[in-house]
Structures are given as C-alpha cells and as structure tokens.
C-alpha cells in the first residue's frame, strides 16, 4: 500500500483522499448542489429584548386582567411605564450615536478617560461598562496619530504583517522546515510542490490602504444600515465566509477584498472537498474576486484541507488569490495580545485580521465586533447577524478582545462602530 500511495502524486492524494488511492475511484463533479446556510436565506427567531433582564431589574410580566376595568388599568400601568421608559432610553442612545460633540472637547476627553480608566474587564460591572461606552458615543471619533503610530510600531517590531502575514517564496524558501503554530513538535518540510503554491512575495505593503473596514459577524451589526459605509472603504476584510446576500448587504455590505476560511467549515459543510468541490466554489463566487486566506499551518489537520482549496480553485481556473497564514506570524500575534490581557487557546479570526489591518491600513474601522448577549442599550441580540449559534466555550476570549477594542477606540487607534450608521 505504501508503494502504491507513493506512486500517486501528492496533489491527487490531498484532493481525493485515501478512498481514491485505495479503490482507484474517479472524481466526478457534483452539479446543482445546494448547501444550507450559504445562500443567506437563514431564518432565526428575532427575540431581542423579549427575554428577562438579568441585572436585577423587575420584569414587565403580563398579568391576568381583573373583572373591574379600574383594577385592570392599575395592573397594566407599570408595564406601560416600563415600555415607555425603554423607548425613551433607546431614543436617547440613538441621539447620542450622532456624535454631536467634538473629539477634543473637554467633555469628550473625560468620557474617553472613563473607558481607559477601566484597566481590566473585571473592574466594573458589564452594565457600567456599557453605560460608559454609550456615553462616549456622543463624541465624534478622530484618529490620534501619535497613539496610532506607536501602536503600529509595536506591531511592526513583534509581528511585521507586511513581510510575514502569509507564507511566501521570499520568507519560506523551498527546503524550509516549517514549524506548526500549535503542534510545536510538528514540522512540515516545504517541498518544491508546496513551494509552488506560495506567492513570490507579500501582496500587500505597509499602510498601502487609506481606509479599511474589518467586518465581524456579531449580531450587533444587524439593523445597523452600515452596508453603504462599509462598501465605501478602500479595503474590506471578512471572517469565515459569512453570508452577504441581499438579505444582509444593507447592514454588512457586499464588498470583500480578503476573506478568511476556517478549515473546520470545509470539513463540516463540504466533506473536506473530497466530493463537494463545486458547491464550495459557488460559495466563494459570492465574494467576487476577493483573496482567500487559510490557517494551513495552524496544526497538521488543517494542512491537507487548506491545500485542497488551492488545488480546487486551480482546477476551476480561478484567478482568486489563495494565501496561507505564516505560523510564526500567528504565534507572534498571540504573544502580543497575551500581554494586553487576551489569553485564550486561540485568538478569533477577527482579531487576527484587525491586527493585520493595523499595519496594512492608515485608518481602521471595525463593524460587527461585540462579545456580549446584549447591545450597549441592554437589548438582547443574536450571537451572529445570521444565526444564534454560540462558540465553543473557553476556546476564544471574545469579551477581552472587545474590551481591548474599546480602549483602542477611546485612544483614537481604531474606530469601533456599535450603533446605526448615518
């Protein structure tokens, strides 16, 4: 069997898997396949705000009407008052989001200080943090050039995205023994065939783009009407091939220049591309000619699946760029954020893209990044804008990531959008 396997080219082994090698099965492309959750036609209950608050406030509960009309009015009055109060609070928050105060006004300096004074997330209750964040929305955001340059300089020293974000022929020559990001005992020998998959050099340079938008998939972006603003950015990053059909584009936009793909998505929804190649190809067509990035060298399980994406697109004669995160870059990014208090088994794809964008773009705007079950006004929201599937517990440290983004916003480093766009 080993002799037989050795006679089969590596590309064929990766594309079609062991079953192909064992039985000599020929691959036939599936046509007209429909894949659930990728058309954008996803339905979920919009129950935001219908659940009871968990902050000690009394619930507005429907009570049985009394026979007496007078008694009935007394029973329902507290509920009506609560509803009116909620509407008033919501209106006040929307008014604040207009950014009516200048960035350098005394009031705005004090409001920013209220955010940066919270050194660790556990210093204050979530409700108090939300209130401070809501108050800050009354201020226009401006980039603080000095703070931004210092942050970028720190990233350049530790990570250097313009040189090491992806594996390239320049930074990973043929014959390199590449160490995996997580499987520290695992080493991949970069053969000539693997080497051919790498671009000659990094496709992006330092501060190449003036204004970038990094789009998270959080439910906070739902009903934001930010799509037009997002599409106006010079470069748009997206995470894990989210739906951007007409059903969502008004909120999330449709422009995409770079999108990450988690190999687990390919494994779970597209059978590792051993059969379902055309459906996955069709999904990528939603992102026009955007580049695709995969963590091929995160661990050994990711490698073959990631390579299949490259081979599949070559077979379909696609001109789409396919890149692989450099494992040393991701490891350095993990260490950088650990110093900032973000300690997790794995950083989120969104944080990786924000980190890269900070070096590749002059100004960075974040949309759809939120890690709490309620928005800043205390209204319940879905986890994603397209579904309410929760992440695996303990894998990411999302609240700490968002907490850092709040600090960066207050310091004028990135602009975090959590309210409706104008």
The answer to whether 222 and 385 are in contact (CB under 8 A) is yes
Integer Cα distance of 249 and 231 in angstroms: 10
Residue 47: what pLDDT?
35
Q: What is the mean pLDDT of the chain?
A: 82
Beta-carbon count within 10 A of 267 CB: 14
Segment 16-40 mean pLDDT:
34
User: Could you write out the DSSP letters of every residue in 314-370?
Assistant: HHTT----EEEB-HHHHHHHHHHHHHTT---SS--HHHHHHHHHHHHEEEEEEES--
- Round to whole Å and give the CA distance between 248 and 243: 7
261 in Cβ contact with 290 (< 8 Å): no
User: Please, are residues 186 and 179 in contact by the beta-carbon 8 Å criterion?
Assistant: yes
Where do runs of H (alpha helix) occur along 159-226? 161-164, 192-195
CB count in 10 Å sphere of residue 58: 9
Tokens of 154: 């720190």
Measured distance CA(37)–CA(57) in Å, rounded: 37
Q: Provide the pLDDT for residue 271.
A: 84
Q: pLDDT at residue 92 above 70?
A: no
Q: What is the pLDDT of residue 91?
A: 42
pLDDT, tens only, 48-78: 333 333 444 434 433 333 333 333 333 333 4
Question: Which CATH number among 3.90.1480.20, 3.40.50.10170, 3.40.50.80, 3.40.50.1400 corresponds to the domain 150-417?
Answer: 3.90.1480.20
Average pLDDT over residues 137-141: 96
The pLDDT of residue 10: 60
Mean pLDDT of 160-179: 98
pLDDT greater than 90 at residue 409 = yes
CA distance linking residue 215 with residue 222, whole number of Å: 12
The answer to whether 36 and 271 are in contact (CB under 8 A) is no
pLDDT at 392 over 90: no
Could you give the CA distance from residue 15 to residue 344 in angstroms, rounded to a whole number? Answer: 33
Query: Mean of the pLDDT values across residues 288-304?
Result: 94
The confidence score (pLDDT) of residue 259 equals 98
Average pLDDT score over residue span 291-311:
95
Contact 213, 230 (CB under 8 A): yes
- Integer Cα distance of 179 and 304 in angstroms: 16
Position 276 scores a pLDDT of: 83
| DSSP codes of every residue in 95-126 | HHTT--B-TTSHHHHHHHHHHHT--SGGGS-H
Do residues 409 and 111 touch, judged by C-beta distance below 8 A?
A: no
Q: What percent of the chain has pLDDT over 70?
A: 75
- Retrieve residue 307's tokens: 């390579």
Sign of CA dihedral 81, 87, 91, 94: positive
What's the whole-number mean pLDDT along residues 276-304? 94
CATH 3.90.1480.20 placement within the chain: 150-417
Q: Of 33-47, 158-172, 407-421, give the lowest mean pLDDT range.
A: 33-47
Could you say which DSSP state residue 255 is in? Answer: -
Share of the chain above pLDDT 90, in %: 66
Q: How confident is the model at residue 1 (pLDDT cuts 50, 70, 90)?
A: very low
Q: Tell me the two tokens of residue 295.
A: 């963590």
Q: What is the pLDDT, as a whole number, of residue 231?
A: 98
Task: Give the C-alpha separation, 225 to 5, whole Å.
Answer: 54
List 365, 383, 384, 396, catalytic entry: 396
- The predicted-structure confidence for 271-283, as pLDDT tens digits, reads as follows 888 888 999 999 9
What pLDDT, on the 0 to 100 scale, is given for residue 388?
A: 86
Which residue in the block uniquely carries the two structure tokens 């980039």?
143
Query: Looking at the predicted structure, is the pLDDT value of residue 40 above 50?
Result: no
User: Are residues 316 and 281 in contact, defined by beta-carbon separation less than 8 angstroms?
Assistant: yes
407 is catalytic: no
pLDDT at 395: 61
H or E stretch covering 188: strand 187-189
Q: What is the average pLDDT across 70-96?
A: 41
pTM score: 0.79
- CB atoms near residue 312 (< 10 Å): 20
């Amino acid at each position: 069997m080993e002799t037989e396997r050795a006679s089969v080219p590596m590309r064929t082994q990766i594309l079609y898997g062991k079953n192909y090698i064992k039985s000599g099965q020929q691959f036939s492309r599936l046509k007209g396949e429909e894949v659930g959750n990728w058309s954008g036609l996803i339905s979920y209950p919009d129950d935001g705000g219908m659940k009871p608050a968990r902050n000690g406030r009394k619930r507005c509960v429907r009570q049985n009407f009394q026979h007496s009309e007078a008694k009935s009015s007394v029973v329902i009055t507290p509920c009506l008052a609560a509803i009116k109060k909620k509407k008033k609070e919501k209106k006040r928050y929307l008014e604040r989001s207009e950014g009516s105060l200048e960035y350098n006004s005394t009031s705005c300096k004090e409001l920013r200080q209220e955010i940066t004074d919270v050194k660790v997330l556990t210093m204050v209750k979530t409700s108090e943090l939300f209130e401070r964040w809501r108050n800050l929305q009354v201020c226009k955001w401006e980039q603080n050039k000095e703070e931004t340059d210092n942050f970028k300089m720190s990233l350049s020293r530790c990570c250097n995205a313009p040189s090491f974000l992806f594996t390239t022929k320049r930074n990973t020559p043929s014959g390199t023994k590449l160490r995996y990001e997580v499987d520290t005992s695992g080493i991949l020998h970069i053969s000539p065939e693997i080497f051919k998959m790498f671009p000659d050099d990094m496709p992006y340079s330092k501060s190449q783009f003036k204004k970038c938008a990094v789009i998270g998939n959080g439910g906070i972006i739902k009903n934001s009407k930010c799509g037009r603003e997002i599409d106006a950015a010079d470069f748009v990053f997206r995470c894990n091939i989210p739906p951007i059909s007409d059903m969502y584009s008004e909120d999330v936009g449709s422009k995409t220049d770079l999108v990450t793909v988690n190999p687990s998505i390919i494994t779970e929804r597209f059978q590792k591309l051993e059969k379902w190649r055309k459906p996955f190809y069709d999904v990528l067509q939603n992102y026009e000619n955007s580049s695709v990035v995969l963590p091929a060298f995160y661990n050994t399980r990711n490698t073959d699946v990631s390579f299949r994406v490259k081979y599949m697109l070559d077979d379909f004669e696609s001109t789409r760029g396919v890149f692989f995160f450099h494992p040393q870059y991701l490891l350095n990014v993990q260490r950088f954020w650990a110093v900032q208090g973000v300690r997790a088994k794995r950083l989120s794809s969104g944080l990786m893209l924000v980190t890269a964008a900070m070096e590749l773009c002059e100004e960075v705007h974040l949309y759809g990044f939120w890690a709490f079950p309620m928005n800043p006004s205390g209204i319940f929201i879905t986890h994603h804008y397209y579904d309410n599937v929760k992440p695996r517990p303990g894998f990411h440290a999302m609240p700490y990531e968002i907490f850092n983004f709040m600090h960066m916003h207050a310091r004028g480093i990135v602009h975090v959008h959590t309210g409706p766009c104008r």
